[in-house]
Amino acid sequence: MAKQESEFGVFLAGFLVGGLVGAAVALLMAPQSGEETREQIRQKGIQLSDEATKRAEDARVKAEQALNEARVKAEQAAKELQARIQDLQTQAQAAVTERQQQLHAKKEEAEAPAAAEE
């Protein structure tokens, strides 16, 4: 996922730089006065800056949403894992108790004939 975000960041940066260069070239090649060209460049710069800010804010919001979703999933997984651990502990304890009872029963069986012989 980090690679996709990195590739998107590179794409976005290239897109913005390309847009700025294209806009600057188009404005410089247009048949108009220098002052009009400078004003258009300034306006285009403001417009592109606003657009970049908006896209950055959108990306931040999406990243926060993804982070929150990841936290929720991690919390759910932790709860499920804890429940599974408790189940396994209960099963292990039951198995130990059963085995102890079996050993105790065998011990009593082994001691019973010895006691009867006496």
**C-alpha angle 3/64/16, rounded to 5°?**
55
pLDDT of residue 2 exceeding 60, the answer is no
pLDDT for residue 116: 59
When the pLDDT of each residue in the chain is averaged and rounded to a whole number, the result is: 84
**C-alpha angle 35/40/44, rounded to 5°?**
150
Q: How many domains does the chain have?
A: 1
Q: Which amino acid is at 6?
A: S
Domain with 32, as residue range(s), is 2-117
Half-sphere exposure at residue 69, Cβ-oriented, CA atoms within 13 angstroms:
6
The predicted-structure confidence for 30-86, as pLDDT tens digits, reads as follows: 676 778 778 888 888 899 889 888 988 999 899 999 999 999 999 999 999 999 999
34, 35, 41, 42 alpha-carbon torsion, rounded to 10°:
160
- CA 82 to CA 73: how far, in whole Å? 14
pLDDT for residue 38: 81
The proportion of the chain whose per-residue pLDDT surpasses 70, expressed as a percent, equals: 86
Q: Which tops the pLDDT comparison, 93 or 18?
A: 93
The pTM for the full model equals: 0.47
